[in-house]
């Protein structure tokens, strides 16, 4: 992972400062001694020239196959590291920038002249490196460096800086079109079918859940939730090199999507996306449908139990109401309170009231 400024300071944990150095790259390499291929993920605006060339040389010296993947930005000396790859990829919306090296200094006229001479040597070194790696015309590359040129993924490929543009993927649910009894089904249609089977009861619950769902998470076939964080806003942006966590820890291993594709993670980053076979896609959806049918049945059973308890409670409330009504009547009689509409008279026909005690 080369995410951040390329720094010459050999801190033990440069990542906390948003930096990468030679020591951190060496640590990443030595932590994977059994790997025969190293995938180098790059998102960097550049940094120290000497450090960049050193990282390039260390990667090449491993003797392993190097694949570089640009994910966001690859500028200045980071482009030298990118060219360490035998295979070099770049996402569609990433940027690739080349320019002449710069430095800040001071001193006498001789000091400044020496610095300028040194800069010209470095510029020539980078220029020759680009030409050797890409096979592009030297004068054309030099002109782009002096103008500080930002290249799209297609332009970088045309000039030989990368070997291919990375294709993005999108997770969708599909059924095998070759089977007469099945047709292609979108995730929205699948949800609608599910809701219809639940007779509206489960639909209300799902509406509540979906309203709180995050667009930057992806639920795989077994129910595991992959959290891609703020770097991903849409499933179409999930590509090789995208990073995700599961329950707060870096994703590791294989995760099968609802469409049958498999995302392979190493230390939290996608290292491969394996396409699904058509029969595997159908089996996955059948299993998912069976699981949801069971959930619906369980919810219906739970609803029936609640309805029964509610009926019993209504009866108990009705009984309590009758008992309370009788209790009120008894209390009025004991207290000498007449019921509305009743009168008592004496032998002379005069109305009398029972005294309150």
**E strand or H helix at 281, and its extent?**
helix 278-335
174 and 151 fall within a common domain? no
Burial classification of residue 355, based on how many CB atoms lie within 10 Å of its CB (0-12 exposed, 13-18 middle, 19 or more buried)? exposed
What pLDDT score does 221 carry? Answer: 66
What pLDDT score does 194 carry? Answer: 46
Active site residues: 76, 99
128 and 234 fall within a common domain? no
* pTM strictly above 0.75: no
9 and 155 fall within a common domain? yes
Look up residue 167 and give its DSSP letter: P
- CA within 13 Å, CB half, 278: 8
148 and 55 fall within a common domain? yes
Total domain count for the chain? 2
Distance from C-alpha of 106 to C-alpha of 127, rounded to nearest angstrom: 26
217 and 291 fall within a common domain? yes
Per residue in 142-153, pLDDT (tens digit) is 999 999 999 999
CB 69 within 8 A of CB 38: no
Per residue in 291-321, pLDDT (tens digit) is 888 888 888 888 888 888 888 888 888 888 8
Task: Name the domain boundary from 118, 142, 166.
Answer: 166
Task: Name the domain boundary from 166, 193, 214.
Answer: 166
113 is written with which tokens?
A: 């002249």
Average pLDDT estimate for 310-333: 78
Residue 52: partners with Cβ closer than 8 Å, 6 or more residues away: 6, 46, 76, 77, 78, 80, 81
Of 153, 114, 146, 106, the closest CA to residue 127 belongs to 146
239 CB neighbour count, 10 Å cutoff:
18
250 and 264 fall within a common domain? yes
162 and 172 fall within a common domain? no
What pLDDT score does 272 carry? Answer: 87
pLDDT at 340 over 70: no
Range of the domain at 54: 2-166
What pLDDT score does 215 carry? Answer: 43
**CATH at residue 128:** 3.90.226.10
281 and 326 fall within a common domain? yes
Of 72, 115, 134, the closest CA to residue 97 belongs to 72
Q: What is the signed CA dihedral for 248, 250, 256, 257, rounded to 10 degrees?
A: 60
Distance from C-alpha of 172 to C-alpha of 344, rounded to nearest angstrom: 85
pLDDT at 207 over 80: no
257 and 110 fall within a common domain? no
- Measured CA to CA in angstroms, residue 46 lies from 57, 75, 81, 176, 243 at distances of 16, 5, 10, 47, 21
161 and 80 fall within a common domain? yes
Mean pLDDT comparison of 174-178, 228-232, 351-355, highest-scoring range: 228-232
Task: Name the domain boundary from 110, 131, 166.
Answer: 166
161 and 184 fall within a common domain? no
- CA within 13 Å, CB half, 131: 15
Look up residue 223 and give its DSSP letter: S
179 φ, ψ (degrees, to nearest 5): -90, 130
- β-strands 95-98, 65-75: how paired? parallel
Of 275, 270, 276, the closest CA to residue 91 belongs to 270
67 and 205 fall within a common domain? no
């Amino acid at each position: 992972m080369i995410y951040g400024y390329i720094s010459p300071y050999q801190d033990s944990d440069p990542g906390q400062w948003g930096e990468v150095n030679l020591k951190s790259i060496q640590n990443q390499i030595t932590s994977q001694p059994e790997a025969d291929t190293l995938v180098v993920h790059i998102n960097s605006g550049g940094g120290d020239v000497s450090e960049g060339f050193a990282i390039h040389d260390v990667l090449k010296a491993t003797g392993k196959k190097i694949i570089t993947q640009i994910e966001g930005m690859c500028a200045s000396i980071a482009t030298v590291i990118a060219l360490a790859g035998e295979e070099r990829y770049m996402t569609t919306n990433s940027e690739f920038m080349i320019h002449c090296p710069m430095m800040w200094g001071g001193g006498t006229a001789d000091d400044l002249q020496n610095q300028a001479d040194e800069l010209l040597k470095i510029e020539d070194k980078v220029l020759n490196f680009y030409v050797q790696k890409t096979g592009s015309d030297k004068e054309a590359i030099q002109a782009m460096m002096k103008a500080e040129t930002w290249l799209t993924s297609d332009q970088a490929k045309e000039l030989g800086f990368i070997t291919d543009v990375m294709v993005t993927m999108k997770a969708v649910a599909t059924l095998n079109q070759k089977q007469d009894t099945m047709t292609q089904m979108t995730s929205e249609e699948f949800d609608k079918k599910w809701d219809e089977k639940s007779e509206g009861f489960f639909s209300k619950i799902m509406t509540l859940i979906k309203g709180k769902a995050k667009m930057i998470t992806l639920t795989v076939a077994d129910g595991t939730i992959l959290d891609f964080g703020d770097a991903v806003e849409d499933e179409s942006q999930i590509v090789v090199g995208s990073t995700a966590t599961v329950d707060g820890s870096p994703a590791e291993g294989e995760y099968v999507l609802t469409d049958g594709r498999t995302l392979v993670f190493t230390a939290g980053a996608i290292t491969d996306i394996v396409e699904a076979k058509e029969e595997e896609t159908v089996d996955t959806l059948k299993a998912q449908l069976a699981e949801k049918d069971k959930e619906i049945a369980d919810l219906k059973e739970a609803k029936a139990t609640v309805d029964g308890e509610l009926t019993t409670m209504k009866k108990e409330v009705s009984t309590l109401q009758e008992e309370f009504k009788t209790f009120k009547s008894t209390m009025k009689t004991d207290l000498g309170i007449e019921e509305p509409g009743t009168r008592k008279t004496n032998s002379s026909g005069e109305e009398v009231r029972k005294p309150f005690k």
